[in-house]
Amino acid sequence: MFTEVLVGLVIGGLIFFLAQRSKKQVLKTEDGWWGIGIPPDGEEDATIRPFKVTTSEEELEDLYRRIDQTRPVTSLEDSQFHYGFNSQCLQKVVSYWRNDFNWRRQVDKLNQYPHFKTKIEGIDIHYLHVKPKNVPEGTTAIPIIMVHGWPGSFYEFYGLIPLLTEPSAPDHLVFEVVCPSIPGYGYSEAPHKKGFNSVCAARVFHKLMKRLGFHQFYAHGGDWGWLITTNMAQLDPKSVKGLHVNFAPPSKPSLPIVLSVILGRYFPKLFGFSDMDVEHLFPCMEKLVVESFKESGYMHIQATKPDTVGRGLNDSPVGLAAYILEKFSTWTCHDFRNLEDGGLTRKFSLDDLLTNVMIYWTSGCIVSSMRFYKENLGKGLNQPHSKLPVYIPTGFACFPNELMYTPKLWVKQKYRKLLTFTPMARGGHFAAMEEPQSMAEDIQKFTKIVEKKKKQ
Active-site residues, by number, are 223, 373, 429
Residue 409, C-beta contacts closer than 8 angstroms, at least 6 positions apart: 256, 257, 260, 271, 272, 273
User: Contact 426/435 with Cβ under 8 angstroms?
Assistant: yes
